[in-house]
Structure 1
Amino acid sequence: MARKPVAAVTSADVARLAGVSRATVSFVLNNTQVHRVSETTRAKVLAAADTLGYVPHAAARSLRAGRNNLVLIPAAVSAIGRLVSGWIDDLHTELEQYGCTTVLHAGRFPDPVTAARAWAELRPGAVLALDGSSLTAGAADVLGRAGVRALMAFAPQPLEGVCTVAFDDQRVGVLAAEHLVASGRRRLAVLMPRERGLSTFAAPRLAGARSVAARTVATVTPVEMGYTFASAVELARSWALRDLDGVFAYNDEYAALLLRALLDEGVEVPEDVAVVGCDDLVTAALQRPSLTTIRLDPPPAAQVAAALHELMENGTTAPLPGVEPALVRRGSS
């Protein structure tokens, strides 16, 4: 049996229950400091809103204010590992202090301009792209014409009209491969995750490893693996046939799965194969053997939040420090 639709609660309903004007309701719920409202009146409005279950209309509030405080982060859910998810959580907390709301947008789009049009429909105040390739000049133009004042991206090269945080995934692959070669490994594997959304980051890491092979005696072979133990076991069981003596396993989470599966199949680490991860998660040091990894230090969430707020307010901000990968050598290599 279909449930009869319930009429939406409006600010007029809150005003009637509290015995005040709609303007007063707006002043209280939007925390407007210009108009002074007594604590008694404020308490009555908040109590009425709570009783009725009233939720302010964000889009209407943005139209009145002439600005949206929504910060949109394009990201496939599968692309968010523990390092990134923890950083985004910190960023969300910091942005709340500026009255901003953070939203992850996980849509699939054929090209950056189409993606930008979809993001622009939400009229965000800011777009933060963790993958710089998603913010081309054309995409930035679409967002700018839609009134998005704050555009920020992690990218290897400066992007026109975008506050760019320097970060090159190729450099991650270069560091991992250089370390493996320096450790005497010559037949390198680079793990390519099967999960959707990760190829954007995995492909440049593979390219970085291949650039090392091109100037050394090493070879690089891409190998696929899903983020399941069954997939790791399947890969480990074929390892002897592949004749590979070093692997850059994309990140610490995939590396941990593969490391366990290799050891279970009798493949010694690092004697038979050296393993390198990325992100330097807490668990990397707890593996047995402990996991060699690439540490990534993004700018502090508080600094990024302040820059996004300044971009939304003024259209400009000071440059942010880039992300410089660093090798952390441990027992797995």
Structure 2
Amino acid sequence: MTGHDVARAAGVSQATVSLVFSDAAATRVSEQTRARVRAVARQLGYLPQASGRQLRLGRSGLVLLAVPDIRAPYFSRVLAGAHEAAEAGDLTVVASSSWDADKLVRIATNTQFDALIFCSPTDQQLERLPSGVPLVFLDADPDLASAGPDRLVVELDVADGMRRLLSHLRDLGHRRIGRLRYAIDDYTFRARQAAFAAATDGLRVSERPVRQAGDLDLARGCARDLLASPQRPTAVVCDDDVLAVAVYHAADQLGLGVPTDLSVVGMDDVDAAQILRPGLTTVDLGAESLGRKGIEAVGALLGDGRQPTAQGAELIIRESTGRPGR
């Protein structure tokens, strides 16, 4: 894939493509044209050569962003935020959604990346981190930053989000709480479970683990088991909005109304949370902002900026929660 291919697909000259990926772009190419060329380049998988500024600094201008599943709505938004910030900072983001830690290390070793960003990294990935390159971790254990000066962690305040969800349910009068969670032993899911456990004092809790992310049929089955129990919960707290969709389906199959018979809350605030009927009460974890902060952290490690702050959480109350039906 060459700059000529990008130029032809974008309907511009090859010189324009070169300008877009150079220091001169801001003054010599319109913002609309720059956006079109960069969008086409991403679609075609084009990796530009380092700009003049990057060459002077001895950099490639490339940053690898590894996410668990690029198809998942939350992680695609993280990537969008990172792309936006990277374009403003003369960087190009290369995305990977491979869970294969060894493959990621090979990619990182064989390509001259200025930095690597791991979003919600798995324990396996953390055991095989490459050396000699700045590392940024999003939604990860804060202690990772203590391993060296070339590491930064952008924390995700999941605990505050979980507290807000449970406080909202308590205020509505719920005391029997169901929990649909991912039984995956990685930091991000351990953090959500720990936050939930810390906020449920005095509540009667029943849980069902989902042992594989992305399997909606499996999640629906676990949700049906949870809702079919004799002491059915009056509200269900889900690890993410995808699991909340599974609870909606299970409730419908069992003849339960949301929120008349059952309140449901999720986490992440993906687009589906607004499309669902009734709209899903959830926590916005600021996916785009997290991606932008990942690029800011890269800049801090490269000496081009300050370390970003932790990403906060916002409770979004919609129509899926109400007072207990019984």
Question: TM tier, shorter chain?
Answer: 0.5 to 0.7
CA distance in 1, matches of 2:234, 2:246: 17
Gaps of 5+ in 1: 1-8, 10-27, 35-54
The answer (yes or no) to whether the contact 1:176–1:327 under 8 Å persists in 2 is yes
Q: How does 1:1-333 map to 2 (within 5 A)?
A: 66-77=58-69, 81-96=72-87, 98-109=90-101, 119-131=108-120, 143=131, 146=132, 148-149=133-134, 151-155=136-140, 157=142, 159-160=145-146, 161=149, 162-193=151-182, 200-213=187-200, 215-224=201-210, 227-228=214-215, 230-238=217-225, 239-241=227-229, 243-298=232-287, 299=289, 304-309=294-299, 311-312=301-302, 314=303, 317-333=305-321
The answer (yes or no) to whether the contact 1:95–1:305 under 8 Å persists in 2 is yes
The answer (yes or no) to whether the contact 2:141–2:187 under 8 Å persists in 1 is no
Closer, same or farther: CA 116–172 of 1 in aligned 2, 3 Å: farther
Closer, same or farther: CA 81–241 of 1 in aligned 2, 3 Å: same
CA distance in 1, matches of 2:215, 2:269: 20
CA distance in 1, matches of 2:314, 2:19: 47
- The letter for the 1-side match of 2:314 is A
My pick for the range that moved more, 83-92 or 223-232, is: 223-232
1:318 alignment partner, SS class: coil
Shift of 1:126: 0.7
CA distance in 1, matches of 2:111, 2:174: 50
Closer, same or farther: CA 294–302 of 1 in aligned 2, 3 Å: closer
The answer (yes or no) to whether the contact 1:284–1:290 under 8 Å persists in 2 is yes
Closer, same or farther: CA 248–300 of 1 in aligned 2, 3 Å: closer
What is residue 15 of structure 1 aligned with on the other side? Answer: none
1:87 alignment partner, SS class: helix
CA distance in 2, matches of 1:89, 1:57: 19
1:73-117 superposed Cα distances (whole Å, 9 cap, x missing partner) = 222227x6313302312422442451424232524349xxx9768
Shift of 1:123: 4.1
1:203 alignment partner, SS class: helix
Closer, same or farther: CA 56–309 of 1 in aligned 2, 3 Å: same
What is residue 29 of structure 2 aligned with on the other side? Answer: none
What is residue 6 of structure 2 aligned with on the other side? Answer: none
- The letter for the 2-side match of 1:329 is I
The answer (yes or no) to whether the contact 2:62–2:113 under 8 Å persists in 1 is yes
CA distance in 1, matches of 2:109, 2:301: 17
What is residue 38 of structure 2 aligned with on the other side? Answer: none
Closer, same or farther: CA 151–297 of 1 in aligned 2, 3 Å: closer
Closer, same or farther: CA 264–31 of 1 in aligned 2, 3 Å: closer
1:241 alignment partner, SS class: coil
1:158-183 superposed Cα distances (whole Å, 9 cap, x missing partner) = 62232332313344333333333333
2:228 alignment partner, SS class: helix
2:229 alignment partner, SS class: helix
The answer (yes or no) to whether the contact 1:156–1:168 under 8 Å persists in 2 is no
Identity in percent: 20
CA distance in 1, matches of 2:215, 2:125: 34
CA RMSD of aligned residues (A): 4.2
CA distance in 2, matches of 1:57, 1:252: 36
Shift of 1:293: 0.6
CA distance in 2, matches of 1:136, 1:108: 8
The answer (yes or no) to whether the contact 1:170–1:206 under 8 Å persists in 2 is no
CA distance in 1, matches of 2:162, 2:152: 25
Return the TM-score normalized by structure 2. Answer: 0.66
Decide which structure has the larger Cα Rg and report it.
1
CA distance in 1, matches of 2:185, 2:161: 15
